Structure formats: structure tokens, C-alpha cells
Amino acid sequence: MAGHELFGHGSGKLIYRDQKTGKCPLSIADPLNPSEMISTCYEKGETYSSRFGDISTSFEECKADITGLFLSAFPEMYTVFNWDKTNSSDLQLMSMLAEVRKGILGMASSYNEE
């Protein structure tokens, strides 16, 4: 849960174009093509919601869920929150089952017989 809230929702700072130079202050390797760099950024006045529109909330939740699940694979994550490393496999299983439950509830709430 903490990985979802703190790292999932807490990551993803918006990087804006420098108004003086007209350049993005950060260049990141493209994860799909590591030989190329991503050099785009948000323009003045843009927000996450304005860029991604209707899918922004769903995408944000998905990012936070995946981040929390990914971090649950690392026992070091538990020490940050003073959990015993011996319980890490139980906590990881609990995290995965919570995601499965959330998915089933989401499908059930939007089920339409037609």
C-alpha cells in the first residue's frame, strides 16, 4: 500500500520546458529504443490531466499499482517501513491478491449484460 501511495503516486514530477532557453531541462533514454532520447516535456500551462484527458485518472492508478507491485518484489522495500524481511513473501502475496480483488470488483461494477 505504501509503495502504491508514496512511490506510485509520488513519482512522475512534471518537467516543464525552460521558458528562457526553450529547451527541456531533462533528456531521458527512450525505454522502447534506448539509443534514442526523449526530449519532450510539458509546455507552460499544461497539466497531466490536460495532456492525457479522460484516461489520466486510470493511467495514474495503473502506474501507482504497477509501481507498488514492482517494489513489493524487493525485500529492502519492507525495511523502509520497519517490516521484518522474513514476512516479505507474505506481504508480496497479499499485494498481488489485493490487486486481483480490485480487478474483479472493477469488472463486476461495470458489468453490463447487453
What secondary structure letter does DSSP report for 28? E
Distance CA 13, CA 5 (A): 14
Q: Determine phi and psi for 85, rounding to 5 degrees.
A: -60, -25
92 grid coordinates: 508480496
Q: Which amino acids are annotated catalytic? A: 5
